[in-house]
């Protein structure tokens, strides 16, 4: 049995499992990511030539594979949102982005600096990497397929979906701040980088991402639904792979113009969705992206499981594990709850929003990207150990909690009287 034979076998089993297992695990206290992660660990322990990925040695491969998975997931998340854009309609999103995310970055950075005695730049990087919620592994708590009406969308699931869609792009300024701080520390702790960072990495790149996303989304929306030449009106042909074209086009233009491609992709998806909300073509696009996302997620989690079995946590200390546990059980729930103070959502919804700050593929991407820009005091293995532990803990914790929590919230909503909070 050769290496390639095992790869083909694993790919075949994984693809079939990705199609079958979602229905098997539906409404049960475990998730698809948990199964693929466990499968990766178990198969790696067998006496077979199974591929193993080391994110330190294979950093570039990890960076680009996780990058593709995240942008496909962002397109799917944006296409699924039924709620029209608006400051008041999206108030729960702004609360999570404006309160929860920066507080999480700061809290995790303080934990890493105080408990792990890491340099400020490394501590800030860990905060930036673990701050964004993940659109890839949040399938159980995300909004479902496009329904064409905003009234069918649960507040908690909308908040988590829109938060994951936007904060995966908005984490980049914090990552760049850590990179700039690490570079400044190596040249005498200069603060000259702050002004350039604020203008370029915060304002400039965010603006480019938003503008490109809106422009590409408007253009594609016109082409899909309103173009006069039938050959351009792609909604009549109902081809799902067009979603990949939209994803890569938006991401590529934003990145070429030095903007945030993650932000651009999600905005593009929302703009396409807004072009014609009731059209069935949205379902076709969403289903295609969901299938691609599911396959990529299965592959990445399988490889992450293999990495676990080959010593991913060998550099993890008790204090490092404590940081991961605190992120999942204290930092996110507390900052998520603070963001919902005086929120119109009921208490069960606020609990779900505060609790499900899922960490996943986005964190792996940001860490691999940052380590390609700076070695961060040679703490690559320690960083990967803490981040991997936190992601695995999130997969297990949130995977077990998701179905029961959502089911309970839905039952309370159904039994609540009209016009009252559940």
User: Which of 315, 325, 403, 395 has the alpha carbon at shortest distance from 38?
Assistant: 395
User: Are the C-beta atoms of residues 132 and 361 closer than 8 Å to each other?
Assistant: no
377: left (phi over 0), alpha (psi -120 to 50) or beta: left
Q: Which pLDDT band, with edges at 50, 70 and 90, does 413 fall under?
A: low
The token pair at 19 is: 């199609």
Whole-number pLDDT of residue 316: 95
What integer is the mean pLDDT of 261-282?
90
What integer is the mean pLDDT of 48-62?
87
Answer whether residue 228 shows pLDDT above 50: yes
Answer whether residue 420 shows pLDDT above 50: no
Whole-number pLDDT of residue 139: 60
Tens digits of per-residue pLDDT, 183-201?
A: 887 655 667 788 999 999 9
What DSSP state is assigned to residue 27? T
What integer is the mean pLDDT of 131-139?
75
Answer whether residue 419 shows pLDDT above 90: no
Q: Which pLDDT band, with edges at 50, 70 and 90, does 410 fall under?
A: low
User: Are the C-beta atoms of residues 227 and 241 closer than 8 Å to each other?
Assistant: no
Q: What is the spatial distance between Cα 223 and Cα 235, in angstroms, rounded to a whole number?
A: 9
């Amino acid at each position: 049995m050769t290496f390639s034979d095992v790869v083909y076998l694993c790919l075949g089993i994984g693809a079939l499992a990705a199609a079958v297992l979602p229905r098997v695990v539906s409404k049960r206290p475990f998730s698809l990511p948990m199964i693929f992660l466990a499968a990766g660990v178990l198969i790696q322990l067998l006496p077979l030539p199974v591929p193993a990925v080391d994110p330190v040695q294979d950093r570039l491969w990890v960076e680009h594979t996780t990058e593709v998975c995240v942008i496909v997931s962002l397109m799917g998340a944006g296409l699924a949102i039924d709620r029209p854009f608006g400051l008041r309609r999206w108030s729960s999103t702004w609360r999570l982005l404006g309160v929860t995310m920066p507080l999480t970055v700061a809290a995790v950075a303080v934990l890493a600096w105080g408990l792990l005695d890491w340099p400020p730049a490394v501590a800030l990087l860990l905060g930036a990497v673990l701050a964004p919620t993940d659109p890839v592994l949040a399938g159980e708590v995300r909004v479902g397929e496009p329904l064409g009406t905003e009234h069918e969308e649960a507040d908690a699931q909308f908040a988590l979906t829109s938060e994951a869609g936007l904060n995966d792009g908005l984490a980049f300024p914090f990552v760049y701040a850590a990179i700039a701080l690490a570079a400044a520390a190596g040249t005498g702790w200069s603060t000259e980088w702050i002004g350039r960072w604020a203008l370029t990495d915060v304002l400039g790149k965010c603006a480019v991402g938003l503008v490109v996303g809106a422009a590409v989304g408007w253009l594609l929306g016109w082409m899909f639904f309103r173009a006069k030449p039938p050959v351009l009106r792609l909604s009549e042909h109902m081809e799902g792979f067009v979603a990949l074209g939209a994803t890569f086009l938006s991401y590529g233009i934003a990145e070429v113009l030095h903007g945030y491609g993650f932000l651009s992709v999600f905005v593009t998806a929302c703009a396409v969705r807004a072009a014609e909300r009731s059209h069935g073509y949205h379902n076709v696009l969403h289903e295609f992206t969901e299938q691609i996302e599911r396959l990529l997620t299965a592959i990445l989690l399988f490889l992450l499981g293999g990495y676990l079995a080959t010593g991913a946590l060998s550099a993890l200390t008790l204090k490092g594990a404590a940081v991961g546990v605190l992120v999942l059980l204290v930092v996110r729930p507390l900052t998520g709850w603070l963001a919902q103070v005086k929120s119109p959502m009921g208490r069960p919804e606020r609990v779900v929003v505060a609790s499900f700050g899922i960490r996943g593929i986005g964190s792996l991407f940001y860490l691999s990207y940052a380590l390609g820009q700076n070695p961060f005091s040679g703490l690559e293995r320690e960083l990967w150990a803490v981040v991997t532990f936190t992601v695995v803990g999130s997969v297990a914790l949130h995977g077990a909690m998701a179905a029961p929590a959502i089911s309970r919230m839905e039952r309370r909503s159904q039994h609540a009287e009209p016009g009252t909070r559940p």
